[in-house]
Structure 1
Amino acid sequence: MGKAGRIACISLPYLLTIGALVPLILVYLGGTNSGSSTLNSLYFFRADLSNLTSQENAQSLGEQLHDLAGDVAGLDGDQLGQALQHAREQFNLRDFYTIGLWGYCAGNKTDDGFEVDYCSKPKANFWFNPVEIWNLNDTGVDNLLPSDLNRALDIYETVSKWMFVAYTVAVIATIIELLVGLSAIFSRLGSLVTSLVSGVAALFTVASSVTAITLFAVLKGTFNNVLEEYGVHGDLGRNIYVATFIASAFALAGTLFWLVSSCCCSGRSPYHGDRKRGLLGGEKTPYSYERVGSPYMGPGHSSPMPSYSPGSHVPMQTYNRSEAYEPYRQV
């Protein structure tokens, strides 16, 4: 009964830990497989270039970037025009690009919505560099990007590395939490150790979630403020933020209940202590017998010694019924 109660006590925090791990893994793998609609729907940020690359757009890419460059003083218009023309001819831009933790995905807009047909190879500490990914680095156009956008991209590059590490620690700590949690079946000490691991997992899960929403919200604001007039629009992904904050909520709740399980539900039988005290502490259980001292009626009384006749196994001493003794007494 004690072990059953202990298992029931840790079942809730264990299930909460599993509930935190599942969305964490989805966030971790988002944008890594072009053939999975589930993973493709998990992205932090989406850059929509459909108006830029659409045939309905009145301006070509080169003309739009030329207009953007016109605000920068001291540039040679002929050289810039050649660079922009080269970029326009060489570009194979997709309608949209989505950013995940390990890489990016791209695709085109259809009547059914956004359809992903390509995902980059997963890379640790990934950050989305539009100049490199859109092949602008050989055209000189990267020098024409406004300072606000360049500053936002620099911050994004730095913070994205911390975010990758935070999510990685959160996933690993949560898996360790599940393994260490098995020890909580046997004792409250196991729950205490699991609580410590759970606290680390919850800390990094919440920290990575807050970092992600803050970072990409700032990037979206700067991105749209600078490039929206050129037909480029940025959006935040809804599904990935729902998943990461669900993971945070489950992680925090799991830590709380692991702490509760370390303070109660010891797993011992309620009669275990009584039996131990009865055997080791000299306490007597009801309706038991114990041997009396010798002589049993005190030091002033000696028990008659029975005599035996040769060849006989039967005592020859007779006793009065009133003087018969019992070698054990009932307590």
Structure 2
Amino acid sequence: MGKIGRVACIFTPYLLTIASLICLLLVGLGCTKKSDNNLNNLYFFRANLQNFTTSSSTTSEISQLLSEAGVSTTNLTALLEEAEEDTDLKDFYSIGLWGYCDGSISNGTYNTTACTSPKAEFYFNPITVWGLNSSSSTEDVLPSSLTKAIKVYRDVSKWMFVAYIIAFCATLAEIVLGVFAICSRWGSCVVTLVSSVSLLFTTAASVTATALFATLTGTFNSALKDYGITGSMGKHIYIATWLAVAFSLAASLFWSFSTCCCSGRSPYSHRDGRNTRGGITAEKAPYTYEPIDHQAHPAAVNPNTAYPPAATTSYGRSAPVNNTRSNAYEPFRHVEA
């Protein structure tokens, strides 16, 4: 029963760890295959250019705002128009961990037509992707707030990518080492340490992704909404990454619990080979003693003992003899097993 209890104690955190690994896999597979709409819906950020226009950029209000930001309205408008003609701007761009996908929008349906090859430490650069780098002064093309946000996104996205990779590797190692945790509490202790690393980096990556793309979305909309370009955060990928955190946290708690409970030792095993727990009598060992039933075998107590004669009454009848032993200790005889 000890081993069975140990297996049952390890089973719960093991399943939670597998669930966390599956969620991390979903995050990594987002925007990697154009033919799979489910994976294409796993994106951190999406830029929508379906309603792209340059007509509103000529108003005095927009021109004043852009001039205050140090941006030439004419240059940005010209570059966007040129990019639309030369590079065939797509209706949307969905950004994942390894790359991005683009496509067209028809009746509210997003149809993915292409996805980039997976690349480590990927970040989405709209200046390059949209073909705005034909000008020598690309730094002055976009509003300064968006330019700064893109630079921050470029630097932080590298850390985010590394955090996800470490979280994935630690979770995978947690699953492998979890098998050895069935054997002893020391195994659970090792798995608990690995689980803590997995929880730390899974949480750090999720927090970084959420904060980073929330900031990027806000800046993106405020800088380019007048051109009909909007940005939005995904939903499914954030559900997946935060579920990974929840599963990892629960698994870490259960792994810690397994280090102090369910040792795996059988309650019926002892060094001397005998069992004294639960009121269960152990088997008789060799050279033990058992009590003698002196009533069934009176001579076995002491064959040389002479019993006193029976007393007689005045009528000639024998009175009953009291054979009750005065000795408080019951004799035992030696029995060889």
Q: Give the TM-score range, shorter chain.
A: 0.7 to 0.9
Q: What does residue 48 of structure 2 align with?
A: 48
Q: Secondary structure at the match of 1:212?
A: helix
Q: Any conservation in 1 of the 2:54–2:227 contact (CA below 8 Å)?
A: no
Deviations 1:94-113 (A, max 9, x none): 00001100000001101151
Q: Could you tell me which of 188, 213, 217 is aligned with 1:216? A: 213
How far residue 80 of structure 1 moved from its aligned partner, in angstroms, is 8.0
Q: What does residue 12 of structure 2 align with?
A: 12
Q: What does residue 116 of structure 1 align with?
A: 112
Q: 1:164-183 residue pairs with structure 2 within 5 A?
A: 164-183=161-180
Number of equivalences = 293
Q: 1:1-331 residue pairs with structure 2 within 5 A?
A: 1-52=1-52, 57=53, 59=55, 71=67, 86-140=82-136, 142=138, 143-273=140-270, 275-276=272-273, 285=282, 287-290=284-287, 322=303, 328-329=334-335
Whole-angstrom distance in 2 between the partners of 1:74 and 1:119: 32
Cα distance change of structure 1 residues 264 and 95 upon mapping to structure 2, 3 Å threshold = same
AA of the residue aligned to 1:242: I
Cα distance change of structure 1 residues 89 and 185 upon mapping to structure 2, 3 Å threshold = same
Q: Unpaired runs of 5+ in structure 1?
A: 279-283, 293-320
**Larger Rg over CA atoms:** 2
Q: Secondary structure at the match of 2:174?
A: helix
How far residue 272 of structure 1 moved from its aligned partner, in angstroms, is 1.1
Whole-angstrom distance in 1 between the partners of 2:219 and 2:5: 55
Deviations 1:125-165 (A, max 9, x none): 00000001111111347322111111111110000000000
| TM-score of the aligned structures, taking structure 2 as reference length | 0.77
AA of the residue aligned to 2:117: K
Q: Unpaired runs of 5+ in structure 2?
A: 276-280, 290-301, 305-331
Q: Any conservation in 2 of the 1:45–1:237 contact (CA below 8 Å)?
A: yes
Q: Any conservation in 1 of the 2:80–2:132 contact (CA below 8 Å)?
A: no
AA of the residue aligned to 1:89: E
Q: Any conservation in 1 of the 2:76–2:141 contact (CA below 8 Å)?
A: no
Whole-angstrom distance in 2 between the partners of 1:68 and 1:86: 23
AA of the residue aligned to 2:185: R
How far residue 322 of structure 1 moved from its aligned partner, in angstroms, is 4.0
Cα distance change of structure 1 residues 238 and 117 upon mapping to structure 2, 3 Å threshold = same
How far residue 59 of structure 1 moved from its aligned partner, in angstroms, is 3.1
Q: Secondary structure at the match of 1:127?
A: coil
Q: Any conservation in 2 of the 1:97–1:104 contact (CA below 8 Å)?
A: yes
| TM-score of the aligned structures, taking structure 1 as reference length | 0.79
Q: Percent identity?
A: 46
Q: Which moved more, 1:243-252 or 1:112-121?
A: 112-121
Whole-angstrom distance in 1 between the partners of 2:64 and 2:130: 16
How far residue 245 of structure 1 moved from its aligned partner, in angstroms, is 0.3
